[in-house]
Structure 1
């Protein structure tokens, strides 16, 4: 178990300004219900069609924090990947994303600061009609180069 190699994301010295990543995710009821169950969020605008039909939205919308979760998951999986952590974010939601919609996210590296071990991504998310539903920037601490904690025997150094 201790000898198992962990797959980490890209180190800061391998990431360049201008790099892009694009992902598309279709939002289904299953994901929304899982989110609402996990958070115990009972906001009717997220799930009740009869309530939503009486609002300017006309139909249920995807929770904005769920969209943020999709963004942070992409950072943890792909750019820079496992081992990274978010240190700041500035995100806005100019239009709603509706149930059964598709979210296409475009990430672009805008800042790489090796000295401070910091990078920044610009994020733009559009629905299937091309409307911007999320935009902003996220500051990230990419994975660090790991120092060995064990000798070749597989035991911890201090044991």
Structure 2
């Protein structure tokens, strides 16, 4: 259960360095697509109907770009900088479509740190199993920042 369990926060800005990288690999499975489509009620035939997609320039169903964005934001929330982070801007370009059952390598790299504004810029690049870039861009993140330690100790079990 996620609620009620105390979680360790991600790293603070002063503990981070330009050049830090995170690489992760995700295989897009049917269950992932079905969960997304069920959650959003997005019935775009380009995502699920082989007959329709075969008549388009894509030729087969594609993975919704927001799913790829979700993988990126999840990596930021879990690892770089980690729990307690807040994404305040993202600029992503979806260079090539991603198809069902693709294996995607995501590379996230810290490219700028602004301690004064508690802001980290993370460059994102994702490639498919053929080495083609499918996503590129930048995400601006506020790492965890606790302003009032007394309040956080009093609310550990909130």
Answer yes or no: same fold by TM over 0.5.
yes
Instruction: Mark the structure with the bigger radius of gyration.
Output: 1
Q: Counterpart of 1:36?
A: 37
Trace 1:46-125 onto structure 2 (pairs within 5 A): 46-125=47-126
Q: Which runs of 5+ in 2 are unaligned?
A: none
Q: Deviations over 1:85-130 (max 9, x none)?
A: 1010110101001000011100010111111100000000011111
- SS at the partner of 1:149? helix
Aligned counterpart for 1:149 among listed residues 128, 148, 151: 151
Cα distance, 1:56 vs. partner? 1.3
Q: Counterpart of 1:136?
A: 137
User: Structure 1 residues 20, 150: CA separation in 2 closer, same or farther (over 3 Å shift)?
Assistant: closer
**Rounded Cα–Cα distance in structure 1 between residues aligned with 2:77 and 2:15:** 16
Give the TM-score of the pair, scaled to structure 1: 0.90
Q: Between Structure 1 and Structure 2, which shows a larger proportion of helix residues?
A: 2
Cα distance, 1:6 vs. partner? 3.1
Give the TM-score of the pair, scaled to structure 2: 0.90
Cα distance, 1:150 vs. partner? 6.9
Cα distance, 1:149 vs. partner? 2.3
**Rounded Cα–Cα distance in structure 2 between residues aligned with 1:150 and 1:44:** 47
Q: Which runs of 5+ in 1 are unaligned?
A: none
